[in-house]
Structure 1
């Protein structure tokens, strides 16, 4: 089987989990015997472009002529069975779907965010969840609020792109929804069930886990939507040292907030940005991993890393987090969040136990109440966390699912 993997890489100066996942997925597919033809562009190419190429950048999200020419040549030369698209912006454009279809190549797209509808892709603005552009033909609110790169002009371009390419997206042969929440988003957008497959990302197996450590670990981008303010407010509702250590690792605009918290309390430690060995050590030292996002986080890779290390997760009941910990329930209309299961007797109101962790409403009081029972229950839930990784997020499982998606679409042998 021959597959074109198309992805516009995000700038390396802004570390992207999506870039990492695409790289890992290409490696996993090749190891499984799939012939992968990478069709990659990088936003880091933009500064070195010629003046003529830069002059075309404003229209690139709608139609990137050079990318279409190059893709058409690649398809003509190699005759792939499937094109698998990840991020098309800004140098590929969703037009690659039309280019592939013109040559008779079916298209799979992995949906990593909400950019079919939302210009920023996050459903998050000014510190709160925002879905003002849902259901609109043109995302005027995105323009008014400068949702794309804090620019009205660029927001207008992106809103126009989303309007122009609504038929393009609806022509995609199969969507890979990373979680059940993303599947809900696609249904709300008008994609029929038979063209949606729920398939999460995978990460390499780090090996058998060690016994749980102590305390809690927050690992990720230090930005408002990741819920650091929520976490620290909840943490301060407990006496210093009552919950064991809170380790915070990562970097970003809220780094001063974390450094101030570490200076204020002896039970908060700021680890800074970590390499892979540092991440592994931090996971092993902790008992529970925190995923306190205040937006509909699609698929926080840190949760899969936690499960692979045999660490249960305490998270907010938003986006893909309930799915990842096995606590997702039947949902209300897309975007309104999960309908909670009845709380387990003895747990705080609103705290739901899943296969591999717990979820709570994104509220400081709810999170504060959930911290002690999570600490107490970590060791008991650790084996189930590792088992959920092995059954749902292991590369052997996930890569087979993806190859099955390709096989369901690929043309008969030539």
Structure 2
């Protein structure tokens, strides 16, 4: 299991998922050899090591040496790669193949194409680098860490490693939207498997609470501003309480909204008991991202707790709530998702609102979200059992871990028990 951990000062769902996956596989009887580097190591590196950092996304020589030694000593069946940047480099794929070890990669973002990995720039969806041999727009707009030089390095890395990525034996797409992204990149269907992440089972859900919970990083792409614009279209108290949890650059926006209206409470960042309590107190969880959010873990947490979700029809959100419909791989913008077909079950939905198995999705526009909020509040109790059922069938560790082991067995050509 190869992964470059993101800095601990910047909480990462990807780090959490890798740790959980290792634990789940180990509990299932799989021997896992972690090959982990952390960006927190960078400040303490020696001067010679730091001098090599600019080339490490393209080729990290120490990582290749260490990985090669591990492969020779342990002869693993599969290398499972998550994030390779900056200390591992996609070159680990070539190192594994040189030793005859097949490679599986979980795709957590869009960094095969996009230097930032988000398809999001200056507050809007951006796909300017799609289809280009070199992502020049990323350099012009300083998309990677706000630096033209670092953006040039990342754009070069993506160009150099296009053949590397296309040699991966199996891609794990976390949702159908990520599978579309990989097809658009040129990966054939037979090398793509849709397998979401899992979270531990929190147990029997509490009875539904009241109101809405928004729990996310407080950054522009997570859609707090969109939510507040929609919320303000209703009188204070008309929708029940709105609880906002999280931290980030938009914290002042959340604090100001809570001071402005009696029906908004800002909870700040929450620990695990705090998350469970906030979920128990609420009836609906909100996921109002304005980018192609790959797999918001908060949605899986909501379903596990028997809470339906109201989200935007972008990225993996429709898949998570069981409302994904066939669409063009090129991506969805507000105009495209606004015309999504209405759900076929339950009462007629307002224009721009689609009901799924475990929630609702809407166009990422204030009017559409405002129309959906009372629909979600009225339908929350009826949809709560379906939300829990979707978790048990699709996102429970027992289900997801078996699926992952089957993927390993397929690429390694070894029988499963």
Q: Of residues 384, 406, 409 in structure 2, which corresponds to 1:407?
A: 409
Q: Of residues 172, 197, 213 in structure 1, which corresponds to 2:193?
A: 197
Q: Distance in 1 between matches of 2:125 and 2:413?
A: 42
Q: Of residues 11, 14, 22 in structure 1, which corresponds to 2:10?
A: 14
**What are the superposed Cα offsets for residues 264-297 of structure 1, whole Å, 9 maximum, x if unpaired?**
0000000000000000000000000000000000
Structure 1 unmatched ranges of 5 or more: none
TM superposition shift of 1:409: 1.2
CA contact (8 A) 2:177 2:329 kept: no
Secondary structure in 2 matching 1:239: coil
Q: Distance in 1 between matches of 2:10 and 2:321?
A: 27
Partner of 1:265: 261
Secondary structure in 1 matching 2:2: strand
Q: Distance in 2 between matches of 1:46 and 1:64?
A: 13
Q: Distance in 2 between matches of 1:371 and 1:21?
A: 30
Structure 2 unmatched ranges of 5 or more: none
Q: Distance in 2 between matches of 1:225 and 1:138?
A: 25
Matches within 5 A, 1:1-400: 5-336=1-332, 340-343=340-343, 345-400=347-402
**What are the superposed Cα offsets for residues 356-387 of structure 1, whole Å, 9 maximum, x if unpaired?**
00000000000001000100000000000000
CA contact (8 A) 1:343 1:349 kept: no
Secondary structure in 2 matching 1:359: strand
**What are the superposed Cα offsets for residues 392-412 of structure 1, whole Å, 9 maximum, x if unpaired?**
000000000000000001155
- Cα pair distance change 1:403/1:343, threshold 3 Å: closer
CA contact (8 A) 1:62 1:95 kept: yes
CA contact (8 A) 1:343 1:350 kept: no
TM superposition shift of 1:340: 1.6
The Cα RMSD (Å) is 1.0
CA contact (8 A) 1:226 1:294 kept: yes
TM superposition shift of 1:346: 2.7
**What are the superposed Cα offsets for residues 284-332 of structure 1, whole Å, 9 maximum, x if unpaired?**
0000000000000000000000000000000000000000000000112
TM-score (norm 1): 0.98
TM-score (norm 2): 0.97
Q: Distance in 2 between matches of 1:274 and 1:44?
A: 23
Aligned residues: 409
